[in-house]
Amino acid sequence: MAPRIIALTRYDSMGASSRVRFLQYIPELERLGFKVDTFPLLSSDYLKRFYAAGNRSPVSVAASALNRIKDVLTNRDTAIVWLQRELLPYIPFEIENLLLTGKKLVVDLDDAHHLYYKSAAFPLSLFLSSKIERIVRRADAVVVGNDNLAEMARKNGAGRVHFVPSAVNTNRIRPIQEQDRKPFTVGWIGTPVTARQSLPLIREPLKRFLQAFDAKCTLVGVGDSDFADIPATRVPWSESAEEQHLPRLSVGLCPLEDTDWNRGKSGYKIIQYMAAGTPTLASPVGFAAQIVENGKTGFHCSGAETWHSGMATLFNDTKTLSEMSQRARSEAVSKYDTKVAASSLCSVFQECLNA
């Protein structure tokens, strides 16, 4: 009988972190011999409200927590619990540990979630500040999306730490012919929340570039009313939008402020651009500095002028643009494809079962 895994994700397929770190691997994991059942904590309706208004409903979170407890208690016949971040938000570690008694636990981290409860603005920080660190110490294995998180996990006593970068199905997102990438288009993909955090960093150089060059801009996942001063095509996020619009980008943008949180990010949008054969202009912050090979698969940009010059260089130099495009695609296929990541996860689960 195939070993059964229950994947306790934060969201369903609408949530990027759950889709990228869990859901997209399930078909391949089942092909490799596991049975995976998924139980998301928060619904698509919750996410839609959050993206639209930026608020979290305490009633909705409480109801979701009760459903999560039921999911754990009624699914005792499982070989491994595959957990995204934590079992229950705002609940002490001791309660989670009790619910997980006797279960093999694999925890996945792709962002610096351990920082969230440490904020002085968080009302329960005194009681929860070390919660994530205690979860990784309790886990039978910890899967991380970058070296920064691996260091955190090891520092806090995690016994088995495995680096599995976020991945893209490179058969789903793939390059198109160069002649079909015209006009020259720069673009960004994310959520309304991350757009408000990062796009202000490049607002002025992007506007100057679009005014000075015969180029277009596509923003995927940005709110309709956000950044109205940037002349761009705005596309609501969907998987079909990724497949349709990412391959048409000439250059992908990944601006990041240099913060502890961003140094713990796992660079998924860069990997999406690479799968599409698109060079990336990125802030050299955390793992982004490793994924983007400066001068080979894109450019590191650290100020308004470098963002502007990076876009202008690739607009004017079609040879460099083509070479970077080919190298980016090759790197995506060899290092960041879902089959590569699923195979790594399979090894993690097997090692966990055998321990």
pLDDT single digits (tens) 88-142: 988 999 999 999 999 999 999 999 988 888 876 666 677 888 999 999 999 999 9
Q: Tell me what pLDDT residue 34 has.
A: 96
Q: Tell me what pLDDT residue 55 has.
A: 62
347, 338, 339: which is closest to 19 by C-alpha? 338
The conformational region for residue 320 under phi > 0 = left, psi -120 to 50 = alpha, else beta, is alpha
* Structure tokens, 199: 């796009």
In the chain, what percentage of residues exceed pLDDT 90?
80
Q: Which residues pair with 280 in a beta bridge?
A: 252, 298
Helix (H) or strand (E) holding 113: none
Fold category of 178-335 in CATH: Rossmann fold (3.40.50)
Half-sphere exposure of 41 (CA within 13 A, CB side): 17
Q: Kindly give the residue spans of alpha helices, DSSP state H, lying in 156-303.
A: 192-198, 203-212, 239-245, 260-263, 268-275, 288-291
Domain 4-167+337-354: top CATH class: alpha beta
317, 289, 284, 288: which is closest to 301 by C-alpha? 284
Residues 299-343 have pLDDT tens digits of: 999 999 999 999 999 999 999 999 999 999 999 999 999 999 999
Q: State the Cα–Cα distance between residues 211 and 162, nearest whole angstrom.
A: 46
Q: How far is CA 205 from the centre of its chain?
A: 26
- What residues have CB less than 8 Å from 214, skipping those under 6 apart? 183, 184
Please report the sign of the dihedral spanned by the C-alpha atoms of residue 16, residue 20, residue 25, residue 27.
positive
Place of tokens 């002349």: 231
Domain 178-335 in the same topology as domain 4-167+337-354: yes
Query: What is the strand order of the sheet 185-189 is part of?
Result: 233-235, 216-220, 185-189, 251-254, 280-282, 298-300
* Structure tokens, 346: 């399979």
**pLDDT over 90 (residue 48):** no
Q: State the Cα–Cα distance between residues 311 and 321, nearest whole angstrom.
A: 10
pLDDT average, residue stretch 268-279: 98
Q: State the Cα–Cα distance between residues 220 and 189, nearest whole angstrom.
A: 5
Residues 197-234 have pLDDT tens digits of: 999 999 999 999 999 999 999 999 998 888 999 999 99
Q: State the Cα–Cα distance between residues 51 and 11, nearest whole angstrom.
A: 13
Q: In this structure, what DSSP letter does residue 82 have?
A: E
pLDDT average, residue stretch 281-307: 97
Alpha-carbon distances, residue 94 vs 23, 79, 131, 308 (angstroms): 28, 22, 9, 51
Alpha-carbon distances, residue 7 vs 123, 126, 144, 313, 339 (angstroms): 29, 29, 16, 45, 18
Contact 166, 145 (CB under 8 A): yes
Helix (H) or strand (E) holding 174: none
86, 170, 105, 39: which is closest to 348 by C-alpha? 105
Counting beta carbons within 10 angstroms of the beta carbon of residue 120, is it exposed (0 to 12), middle (13 to 18) or buried (19 or more)? exposed
Domain boundaries, the chain: 4-167+337-354, 178-335
**pLDDT over 90 (residue 83):** yes
Read off the pLDDT band of 179 (50, 70, 90): confident
Read off the pLDDT band of 78 (50, 70, 90): very high
Coil vs helix vs strand at 319: helix
pTM of the model: 0.91
